[in-house]
Chains A and B, each alone.
Chain A
Amino acid sequence: DVKVTQSSRYLVKRTGEKVFLECVQDMDHENMFWYRQDPGLGLRLIYFSYDVKMKEKGDIPEGYSVSREKKERFSLILESASTNQTSMYLCASSTPGGRVYEQFFGPGTRLTVL
Chain B
Amino acid sequence: DQQVKQNSPSLSVQEGRISILNCDYTNSMFDYFLWYKKYPAEGPTFLISISSIKDKNEDGRFTVFLNKSAKHLSLHIVPSQPGDSAVYFCAAVSGNTPLVFGKGTRLSVIA
| Chains A and B come from one and the same complex | yes
Q: A-side interface residues toward B, CB under 8 Å?
A: 4, 9, 31, 33, 35, 40-45, 48, 50, 58, 90, 92, 96, 100-108, 110
The answer to whether A106 touches B43 (Cβ under 8 A) is yes
A102–B47 CA distance with the chains assembled, in angstroms: 10
Additional pairs, 20, CB under 8 Å, beyond known A43-B44, A105-B43: A31-B96, A33-B98, A40-B9, A41-B103, A42-B89, A42-B102, A42-B104, A44-B101, A50-B96, A58-B98, A90-B44, A92-B43, A101-B34, A101-B49, A101-B99, A103-B46, A103-B99, A105-B36, A105-B44, A106-B43
Residue of A33, A103, A110 ringed by the most chain B CB atoms within 10 A: A103
The answer to whether A90 touches B43 (Cβ under 8 A) is yes
The answer to whether B98 touches A108 (Cβ under 8 A) is no
Q: Given known contacts A42-B104, A101-B34, A101-B99, is B42 in contact with A108 (CB within 8 Å)?
A: yes
**Chain B contacts of A9 at CB under 8 A?**
41
Q: List 11 A-B contacts (CB under 8 A).
A: A43-B89, A48-B98, A58-B98, A96-B96, A100-B49, A101-B32, A101-B34, A101-B93, A101-B96, A105-B44, A108-B43
**Chain A contacts of B9 at CB under 8 A?**
40
The smallest beta-carbon distance between A40 and chain B, in angstroms, is: 7
A104–B34 CA distance with the chains assembled, in angstroms: 12
As a 0/1 sequence over residues 68 to 111 of chain B, the CB contacts with chain A under 8 angstroms (1 = contact) are 00000000000000000000010001001011011110000000
**Chain A contacts of B45 at CB under 8 A?**
105
CB under 8 Å from chain A, chain B span 13-58? 32, 34, 36, 41-46, 49, 51
A89–B9 CA distance with the chains assembled, in angstroms: 21
**Chain B contacts of A108 at CB under 8 A?**
41-43
Q: Given known contacts A100-B32, A102-B34, A105-B43, is B98 in contact with A45 (CB within 8 Å)?
A: yes
Q: Given known contacts A106-B43, A108-B42, is B101 in contact with A43 (CB within 8 Å)?
A: yes
**Chain B contacts of A101 at CB under 8 A?**
32, 34, 49, 93, 96, 99
